[in-house]
Amino acid sequence: MTETLLITGAELVGTDRADIIVEDGSIVEIGTGLSRTGARVIDADGLVALPGLVDLHTHLREPGYEASETILTGTRAAAAGGFTAVFAMPNTSPVADSAGVVEQELALGEAAGYATVQPIGAVTVGQQGERLAELGAMANSRAKVRVFSDDGFCVFDPLIMRRALEYVKAFGGVIAQHAQDPRLTEGAQMNEGVVSAELGLAGWPAVAEESIIARDVLLAEHVGSRLHVCHLSTAGSVDIIRWAKKRGIQVTAEVTPHHLLLTDELVRGYDARYKVNPPLRREEDVLAVREGLADGTIDIVATDHAPHPSESKACEWQAAANGMVGLESALRVVHQSMVQTGLLEWRDVARVMSTAPARIGMLDGHGTPLEVGRPAQITLYDPSVNGTFTADDLRGRSENSPYLGRELPGRVEWTIHGGVVTLAAGTVAAELNGACGALSDRRVSK
């Protein structure tokens, strides 16, 4: 049973100030000077009210890699970052390539209660790239999977990619591609360029990403199906997506917060917190992906939250694992890289971090405007403060954040998931016992 909430003085996507009353998991009234006997009052003066954030690209690691993260700890991190829904990538053990595994993930998310967990199914069995996984069975399961990806591995065989696009077209699904030519990136340690040459590290060339995207948008056009490009990172990739959209191809793309802010110059210190796939790119690429996000070529921001235990990062660069945690810092990085630079307004942030991710992932009950009758998925953010990002800001199991010690603007103050407060004045709720999980039996559109 959810409590009645009275949110006072919130700035609705950076424009009008209003009070919001939440009852039974929904927004029931918006106006000024509102009151409600017995309601829990949330003072939102100076806070921006956004629809609850949705992350289309999260690694929760469970089942199989619980030393890095669990669905419970990962969704606590999500709540701390203002997220009310996350899409869980399939590179677990066992791989999420069957109805049984995705239903297990769904159930664990419901039990935790901090955020809606929508599983993403693998495209191929075991993410091996050899034969299609049980796409139909996962789509028809209780998890109602609509997004499929072998993320961490490229679906490199063009025939397998074509067949996957054809299969998901039948139920309106989408293939989310990790665009990386494995032959062009054998042994790669960082972005190929001036810095890699100076450091003597094997380079990850931009063309390894761009060539796969070019191939796949043409396959999507040929099949008439939907393609989503994961963690786009180069200026050339932006150009290809822009061309494909002008051509009318059904393609969407995401960029991570770290590719909006960080460059390959950080690798000079050999700090493995900056080792990620795709790698941090040049300043020119950072500026290009920012522009692509601003003009709508890139549809969304997705965290690619990738937790690892400390021993996987506290080692020499070549042996370190790829990946960064990003749920708790994502909104603050977007604030710095896109809002403070004048490239996005808060209404645009709502679009790229909530509305569009929910639409691409076909997730019901999320990404909707803050209006009467809508589910109460709400993030309250204070844009006026600045602070050093520290380990105390992390709520997951791993600490491999590239932002530790960095000054970032803003702070997520409150997260409300289906009418349930999961983050209160910056503090994650201690225990929810699945309070949010039962609010909606149906999570994905047909």
Can you tell me the distance from the alpha carbon of 201 to that of 195, in angstroms, rounded to the nearest whole number?
9
b/e sequence 371-400, b meaning 16+ C-beta within 10 Å: eeebbbbbbbbbbeeeeebeeebbbbbbbb
C-alpha triplet 143, 366, 133: angle, nearest 5°:
30
- DSSP β-bridge partners for residue 255: 301
Nearest residue to 316 via CA among 281, 280, 269, 278? 269
- Judging by beta carbons within 10 Å of its beta carbon (0-12, 13-18, 19+), is residue 314 exposed, middle or buried? exposed
Reference 265, options 118, 134, 376, 402; nearest CA is 402
Q: Name the amino acid, one letter, at 102.
A: V
Instruction: Give burial (CB, 10 Å; 0-12/13-18/19+) of 433.
Output: exposed
407 to 75, 260, 385, 388, 433: CA distances (angstroms): 24, 16, 11, 4, 35
For every residue of 221-259, DSSP letters joined together read HHHT-EEEE-S---HHHHHHHHHHHHTT--EEEEE-HHH
8 Å CB contact between 261 and 281: no
The pair of structure tokens assigned to 192 is 């190929």
Distance CA 114, CA 111 (A): 9
Which is the catalytic residue, given 97, 285, 304, 393? 304
Q: Is 424 exposed, middle or buried (0-12, 13-18, 19+ CB in 10 A)?
A: middle
Q: Is 239 in the active site?
A: no
Contact, 215 vs 191, CB < 8 A? no
Peptide bond into 409 cis (omega under 30): no
Is residue 212 within 8 Å of residue 150, measured between CB atoms? no
* Residue 358 main-chain phi, psi, to 5 deg: -65, -40
Positions annotated as catalytic residues are: 304
